[in-house]
Structure 1
Amino acid sequence: MLGSTLASGVASALTLEESVAFAIDYSPEVLGQYARYQSVIRQQDSIRGNYLPQVNLYGAIGQEQIWTSSDVDIDDNGTRSEIGLKVSQLIFDGFATTSDIDRLGYEAESERLTLISRSENVALDVARIYLELLKAQTVLELTDRNVREHEEIYADIEDKVAKGLSSQSDLAQVAARVATSKTSYISALNNLSDLQAQYRTLVGRNVSGLTSPKFDQGLIPTSLAVAQKQAVENHPEIRAAIVDMDAARKEMKREKGGYYPEVRLEGYANRNDNVGGELNGLDEDARIMLVVDYDLFNGFSTNANVEASAWRAEEARAIRLRADREVREGTELAWNAYSMLDQQLDLLKQNVDAAKIAEVGYLQQFNVGRRSLLDVLDSKVEVFLARQNYVNTLYDHSFAAYRLLNAMGILTYALRVEHPQEWQEEAK
């Protein structure tokens, strides 16, 4: 099985770590990349076959007619048969086979690192959905609480209207706020349902018993410079790009093998019957030869292949530079988001506390006739929005941390999700 496993024990609830492990198993992108990785390894095994002897068996049978220059038919009823065995051992091919094996080794290592990068991105997608689900559940609870509080106010005002202590306009005003709060509840419920569908598509499991994850604070770097340094050193995409450059250089060396002669040791054994018009005539021979095949001119094809491989090496270098820039940019964006959201959390917490104090005070003043009903309703909205903003920022801050760990190429490590041993061993 190619899927990932958890380093920690399996809990009863579906944790973020378990969700990531299931998603990596379930991901078509990861499965497709694993197949590509295996394909390159098999190609390398195929090229290694050139080091071994090549054995070919040849056989043929059929009618043969021979005429002399005087149009005399020597044999008009001859059945010719041939059978032969050829054994060939490559001795030297201008280092083409060796270079090709090395090239495929680097390509396999690149595909392995790309496989890890794919799993890193899947882990980030799962972290996003998981945190969005937790956020949506919390917001749904807030909207449900908001509806109940507005309904309590409605019931209180309705009682006062019945006693002649309040007006129908006050009751209508509260009714409008109740309807608005219920609309928000339905919207929050719809958002939660959409996220549950996305989770099932990504993880392949139903949402069950989500728990608030805690990221490893010790893995968060102390500065942007440290974060970018770790990202450049660890990110699998950069490492894959570096290996691709090595593969391109080996490809160029393979193409230069065309400038050298090919040397093989070949052995032949043949047994022929009725060859050349001689009925029942046996023709047997065996030989061993050192064969040199030197391509003196092939229409400049070797030159063109070498130049093409040189340009592919240049392309690999450009891809390496692009990967470096993208990783640095992604790390900086993630770092900025994490730092800014961290600063906002304390302010938003103060906002919630202040809004709640104002709400309680307004309600007390309303009961003694010093505040209007509109003031009380507005204070409830302020508290609801303050709580919602705090919840959004709290989960966004957690996601920013996971995003930063992903930009550094260590998200699955931070989540304690272990890749199979096959993924961890270098393919070169």
Structure 2
Amino acid sequence: MRSSVITAVACLFSANAAALSLEQSVAYAIDYSPDIAGQYARFQSVLRDVDGAQADYLPQLNVYAAAGYEDTYYNSGVQIPSDERNMNRTEVGIKASQLLFDGLKTNANISRLSFEAESERLLLLSDAENVALDVIRVYLNTLKAQTVLELSERNVVEHEEIYDDILERTQKGLSSNSDLAQISARVATSKSSMIAATNNLYDLRTQYTRLVGKTPDNLVKPQFDYQLIPPNKEIAIQQGIDAHPEIQSAMADIEAAHQETRREKGNYYPEFNIEAVANRNENVGGLRGPDRDARIMLTMSYDIFSGGRTIANTEAAAWRSEQARNTRIRAQREVVEGTTLAWHAYELLAQQKQLLQVNVDAAKAAELGYIEQFNVGRRSLLDVLDAKVEVFLARKNYIETDYEHTLAAYRILNAMGRLTYALRVEYPEQWQTGANNK
């Protein structure tokens, strides 16, 4: 698992080594995530289970040895000399066996575990998709918080400039003390907003560090490639159903359950093995001296009655197949829901951005007009301060909507299961290898 996730676009940011791009942050987070490390360990463990199941096709070789004391008595009345009744007994044996037929249980078990390994591998990719979205969300929110903080700091500076101006006018008798009190209150409010923005940024920086394992210094606003978005919602949903790793994982679980049913039905058939056995014993059964034998035989084992265990296990496997089928249905519904929600947010936020841009332009024009009118005595200070608050809120709303719109675009790709592909994240080779081609 410790093979690092590599981004194909890392070279684009080599000019600024201190900057942390979105793609690099996602790559670091995937390599840093304990959830993904745990899922990778699960995937590897099932691959080893496949190796163990394949071993049943190979010859089995067992060696047996024993040594001890033997005291022999016969009930037939035959007298055994005392020196032969008590002897040191030794046994050495070797047995080689080869499975010939077991009702295809081994074949079904290998197939079952192979599908389970593929399911775990696909869940690993799905987990990486979700980690990527978490990182994108906190990355964009951190950038947004930084921008809002800068806006808040500029708002404080502008209010302090007005305060200085009103203070000077008051000292000259051109403004009243009530104007000075009013601007003092607004300065305090702007500083309070700046403190809240600072606190929010600290929280987001902490979240980023928890996810990525690095501090969010010099983040770069991502340039989203909107050509990655399908032309309409229906295509996006269909692509998600066809390619989302969680749906594919559920389909692999269905196949694994089918193979488990095959394995359990194999108990209805006899098992055939060819066995070669050789023994070399000493002082066995009250007879001093060697006791040797060797044989090669075709053996058959047939479970006539097992108390209904085979029937119960077969039915249990069938119910697990039904469970896997419903898991796939749930995963498909989640893809449809997630894509639909993200698509609607993407479209509506785009419309909202346009309106908020108009709001920003109009609010700024109104502010400039109010300042000019205030200077000639046609507007009150309250009008100017209210206009300034309107500009601040309009800009803040636009900034928040702009980042939310970008996040909605990434959410669409996540719902489709194509987020890491869009980010050009290259997975380690071990992630791309299933049980059938490792």
CA distance in 2, matches of 1:81, 1:427: 45
Contact preservation (8 Å) 1:215, 1:415? no
2:371 and 2:37 map into 1 onto residues whose CA distance is 59
The one of 348, 360, 364 equivalent to 2:368 is 360
Q: By how many angstroms is 1:422 displaced?
A: 2.2
Provide the residue aligned with 2:165 in structure 1: 156
Which of 217, 221, 225 is the aligned partner of 2:226? 217
How far apart in 1 are the matches of 2:21 and 2:95? Answer: 62
Query: Are the counterparts in 1 of residues 10 and 24 from structure 2 also a CA contact under 8 Å?
Result: no
1:330 to 329, 338, 351: 338
1:252 maps to: 261
Superposition deviation, residue 214 in structure 1: 1.3
Q: Report the CA distance shift for 1:61/1:425 in structure 2 as closer, same or farther (over 3 A).
A: closer
Map of 2:5 onto structure 1: 4
SS at match of 2:10: coil
Deviations 1:21-51 (A, max 9, x none): 0000000110000000000000000011101
CA displacement, residues 43-65 of structure 1 (integer Å, 9 cap, x when unaligned): 00001110111111001111111
Q: CA deviation at 1:209?
A: 1.1
State whether structure 2 residue 244 is matched by structure 1 residue 235: yes
Q: Separation in 1 of the partners of 2:167 and 2:139?
A: 42
**Aligned residue identity for 2:234:** A
Which of the numbers 33, 38, 43 marks the counterpart of 1:37? 43
Question: In the alignment, residue 201 of structure 1 is paired with which amino acid?
Answer: R
Q: Which moved more, 1:5-14 or 1:102-111?
A: 5-14
What SS does the corresponding residue of 1:292 show, helix, strand or coil? strand
Q: Give 1:38's aligned amino acid.
A: Q
> In the alignment, which residue of structure 2 is the partner of 1:340?
348
User: How far apart are residue 222 of structure 1 and its match?
Assistant: 1.1
Q: Which runs of 5+ in 1 are unaligned?
A: none
Q: Distance in 2 between matches of 1:25 and 1:399?
A: 22
CA drift of 1:158 comes to 0.3
Q: How many residues align?
A: 427
Question: For 1:122 and 1:68, how far apart are their aligned partners in 2?
Answer: 75
Q: Report the TM-score, using the length of structure 1 for normalisation.
A: 0.98
Is 1:384 matched with 2:392?
A: yes
Q: CA deviation at 1:71?
A: 7.7
In structure 2, how many angstroms separate the alpha carbons of the residues matched to 1:73 and 1:374?
123
Task: For residue 4 of structure 2, give the secondary structure of its aligned residue in structure 1.
Answer: coil
SS in 2 for 1:394: helix
- Check conservation: 2:367, 2:387, Cα contact below 8 A: yes
Decide whether the 8 Å contact of 2:117 with 2:435 is kept in 1.
Answer: yes
Q: Is the 8 A contact 2:118 2:435 kept in 1?
A: yes
Which moves more between the two structures, 385-394 or 202-211?
A: 202-211
Residue in 1 that maps onto 2:271: 262
SS at match of 2:63: strand
Question: Do 1:65 and 1:73's aligned partners in 2 also have CA atoms closer than 8 Å?
Answer: no
Superposed CA RMSD in Å reads 1.0
Mapped to 1, the partners of 2:410 and 2:270 lie a distance apart of 56
Equivalent position to 1:171, from 168, 171, 180 = 180
Q: Normalised by the size of structure 2, how large is the TM-score?
A: 0.96
Distance in 1 between the 2:200 and 2:326 partners? 42
Q: Residue 198 of structure 2 aligns with which residue?
A: 189
Classify the secondary structure of the residue corresponding to 1:206: coil
In the TM superposition, what is the alpha-carbon distance from 1:67 to its structure 2 partner? 1.3
The Cα of 1:77 is off from its aligned counterpart by 2.8
* Equivalent position to 2:32, from 26, 29, 43: 26
SS at 1:207's partner residue? Answer: coil
- Does the alignment pair 1:410 with 2:411? no
